[in-house]
Amino acid sequence: MTRTCLSVVLAAGEGTRMKSRRTKVLHEVAGLPLVSHALASSVEAGADTVALVVGRDAEAVTALGQAAGASVQSFEQTERLGTAHAVLAARQAIAEGYDDVVVLFGDTPLLSPDTLRRARIHIADGAAVCVVGFEAADPAGYGRLLMEGSRLLAIREDKDASADEKRIRLCNSGVMALDGRKALELLDRVGNANAKGEYYLTDVVEIARADDLDVRVVLADEVETLGVNTRADLARVEHLWQERRRAEMMVAGVTLVAPQTVFFSHDTAIEADVVIEPNVVFGPGVSISAGTVIHAFSHLEGARIASDVSIGPFARLRPGTEIEPKARVGNFVETKNTKLAAGAKVNHLTYLGDASVGPRANIGAGTITCNYDGFNKYRTSIGADAFVGSNSALVAPVVIGDGAYVGSGSVVTEDVPDEALAIGRARQVTKPGRGAEINARNAERKAGRS
Ligand code: UD1
Ligand code: CA
């Protein structure tokens, strides 16, 4: 029996301490907006629908919801009157009647789906409310969990806590699961008679207790509960996210020679037996198959890389790059919207844009595809087993046929048929003895000056 689940993601916070033109939850960790991390955790934890509570930049935040894959409804909270008030902005969604309602914050991207799942299990087991708590290294600012043995009696917000209560280190992460059939009834009874004059979501604990309902706690690692309020928080969370992903990659069989110098994107997909050398940065949309080596100082984005490929050092793969097995991309090579077929080699100092390179073709050092005329982009097609000599400019649109040969230093403006030789450069002129004459004249000039 699968239970239905609504996830309510609170993302109406202004985030003024970010000093940004954009609302806080649009800022990115691992190339993904904070709120999208929360959406992804919700979906992974089994949410059928996500109710996104938005404030500033409502349109942009809502659009991210739509991209997240789940069914997303967006609700605007126009006045910021507290976390319970924010949850109630999604009243219409909650009223549809889900088995479980989970509430999480849009600015807390490290929360693991497993924690949400554990909280849901308690609701399935009959609890009305399950709070995700954590042991805080420094509890200042957090709501404290007031326990009696293993029973949660109440959550006391920092501003309302007595000196004794402030010493409690067991804190509220902000994440809460509720019985979907009781949620609205509990939330509607929350008042705002407290130090902040806000409607606190945390008050549902005492309200449920007063009705003799079952209230439980699950514990999470403090790291999962870290929220982002400042740019420094953003950097810290990015660091922790990267640490976590590096560890996962290594567990999955990826070799990271110097893990702390490799930066992944939220969607980087790497198979076992790939080696990543130091100082490699992944933008979004990269996948790499087994046996491939990414050499040091490479930057990859939007690239699909097959098995047993060698990339770099100092390579830059841009979006639309597709590399087939056993191909090689060497140092100071940039590719964009380019497919390199199996066994093709482009080893040094080259730009390939809007190009396709056939199997086993060899692209010499300093080759440039001239794909742009200032207005439009054009394609270059290079056939199987073709050889492009060093320092050639291939002026697109142009086709180099299978087995064709382009002499070095050529500017190729016309198609080259299969197996043809194309030379597009001035012929060499050699004058016997003329070099010695020039040297003698230059030597005299220098002597005369001194
Ligand atoms: C909240 C919890 C506290 C917990 C802490 C963990 C309450 C009352 N307190 O406190 O127990 O220890 O989180 O970080 O729930 N938001 C809205 N609209 C509002 C108010 C808040 O969308 O009207 C969103 C904020 O954008 C933020 C989240 O809810 O993402 C938490 O709000 P915040 O005011 O930061 O709560 P804390 O005081 O940190
Ligand atoms: Ca907060």
Give tens-digit pLDDT for 291-305: 999 999 999 999 999
Domain count, the chain: 2
Average pLDDT over residues 4-28: 94
Model confidence pLDDT, tens digit, residues 185-236: 999 999 999 999 999 999 999 999 999 999 999 999 999 999 999 999 999 9
Domain boundary among 196, 225, 254: 225
What CATH number did the domain enclosing 33 receive? 3.90.550.10
**200, 312: one domain:** no
Ligand nearest the Cα of residue 201 is 1
Q: Are 74 and 65 in contact (CB under 8 A)?
A: yes
Q: Which of 225, 243, 276 is the last residue of a domain?
A: 225
CA 24 distance to own-chain centroid: 16
Domain presence at residue 431: no
317 and 266 together in one domain: yes
Q: How many CB atoms lie within 10 A of CB 448?
A: 7
In this structure, the answer to whether residues 132 and 256 fall within a common structural domain is: no
Specify if 132 maps to a domain.
Answer: yes
437 is a domain residue: no
Q: Which residue has the least CA distance to atom 28 on ligand 1?
A: 105
Are 219 and 271 within one domain?
no
Ligand 2 center to 61 CA (angstroms): 19
Q: Which pLDDT value is given to residue 70?
A: 77
The confidence band for 390, taking pLDDT boundaries of 50, 70 and 90, is very high
144 contacts: CB under 8 Å, gap ≥ 6: 155, 156, 158, 161, 165, 166, 168, 170, 171, 172
Distance 279 CA to ligand 1 centre (A): 37
Mean pLDDT throughout 41-58? 95
With a cut of 90, say whether residue 110 has pLDDT above it: yes
pLDDT of residue 65: 83
Specify the length of the chain in residues: 450
Mean model confidence pLDDT for the chain: 97
Same domain assignment for residues 155 and 243: no
- Give me the pLDDT at residue 149, please: 87
| Gap between the Cα atoms of 269 and 277, Å rounded | 16
Q: What is the pLDDT of residue 185?
A: 98
Identify which ligand lies nearest to the alpha carbon of 83: 1
| Confidence (pLDDT) at 384 | 98
Alpha-carbon span 323 to 342, nearest angstrom: 7
Q: Are residues 217 and 343 in the same domain?
A: no
Ligand closest in space to the Cα of 14 = 1
Within-domain flag for 60: yes
Pocket (CB within 6 angstroms of ligand 1): 10, 12-13, 53, 77, 80-83, 85-86, 105-107, 142-143, 155, 157, 171-174, 200-202, 227
Residue 450 lies in a domain: no
**Quick one: 311 and 412 in the same domain?**
yes
Q: Which of 83, 103, 228, 230 is the pocket-test mutation for ligand 1 (most atoms within 8 Å of CB)?
A: 83
Model pLDDT for residues 134-160, shown as the tens digit of each residue: 999 999 999 999 999 888 999 999 999
Closest ligand by atom to 15 CA: 1
**Largest Cα–Cα separation, the chain:** 107
**Which residues, chain by chain, have CB under 5 Å from ion ligand 2?**
227
Q: Do 170 and 311 fall within a single domain?
A: no
DSSP state of 3: P
Predicted pLDDT at 192: 97
Query: Which pLDDT value is given to residue 251?
Result: 98
Residue 117 and residue 235 share a domain: no
What is the whole-number distance in angstroms between the Cα of residue 379 and the centre of ligand 1?
52
> Can you tell me which atom of ligand 1 is nearest the CA of 85?
23
Please tell me the predicted confidence (pLDDT) of residue 15: 84
Question: What is the per-residue pLDDT across 333-343, written as a single tens digit (0 to 9) for each?
Answer: 999 999 999 99
**Rounded-to-5 percentages of helix, strand, coil across the chain:** 25, 30, 45
Q: Say what the pLDDT of residue 118 is.
A: 98
Residues whose CB is less than 8 angstroms from the CB of residue 30 and which lie 6 or more positions away in sequence, other chains included: 238, 241, 242, 245, 264, 265, 266
Same domain, 29 and 162: yes
Helices (H), 211-285: 231-251
Q: Domain check: are 310 and 411 in the same one?
A: yes
Three-class SS of residue 129? Answer: strand
Q: Coil, strand, or helix at residue 404?
A: coil
Question: Do 196 and 160 have their domain in common?
Answer: yes
Over residues 266-284, the pLDDT tens digits come to: 999 999 999 999 999 999 9
Query: Would the pLDDT of 171 be above 70?
Result: yes
Residue of 52, 103, 105 best suited for mutating to test ligand 1, as the one with most atoms within 8 Å of CB: 105
Written as six digits, the tokens of 49 are 């629908």
CATH number for the domain harbouring residue 318: 2.160.10.10
| Residue 440: inside a domain | no
Residue 247 lies in a domain: yes
C-alpha dihedral, 99 to 105 to 111 to 116, nearest 10°? -10
pLDDT band at 263; cut points 50, 70, 90: very high
Answer yes or no: is 445 within a domain.
no
Q: What is the pLDDT of residue 450?
A: 56
Q: What is the DSSP letter of 425?
A: S
Which of 127, 132, 107, 128 minimizes the C-alpha distance to 117? 132
Q: How much is the average pLDDT of 175-193?
A: 98
DSSP, collapsed to helix, strand or coil, labels residue 406 as: strand
pLDDT higher than threshold 80 for residue 1: no
Q: Give the count of beta carbons closer than 10 Å to the beta carbon of residue 38.
A: 26
Share of the chain above pLDDT 90, in %: 95
Residue 449 has pLDDT above 80, yes or no: no
Span from the CA of 217 to the centroid of ligand 2 (angstroms): 19
Q: Pick the catalytic residue from 27, 122, 239, 348.
A: 348
Active site residue 348: yes
d(Cα 287, Cα 269) in Å, to the nearest integer? 5
**Whole-number Å distance between alpha carbons of 325 and 308:** 6
Q: How many angstroms does the Cα of residue 197 sit away from the middle of ligand 1?
A: 13
Q: Which of 14-23, 252-261, 288-297 has the lowest mean pLDDT?
A: 14-23
Torsion, Cα 404 408 413 415, to 10 degrees, reads 0
Ligand 1: nearest atom to the Cα of 172: 12
Which of 203, 225, 247 is the endpoint of a domain?
Answer: 225
Q: Which atom of ligand 1 is nearest to the CA of 199?
A: 8
pLDDT grade for 246, boundaries at 50, 70 and 90: very high
- pLDDT at residue number 151: 86
Domain hosting residue 271, numbered range: 231-422
> How remote is the CA of residue 165 from the centroid of ligand 2, in Å?
19
H helix or E strand, kind and range, residue 208: helix 204-210
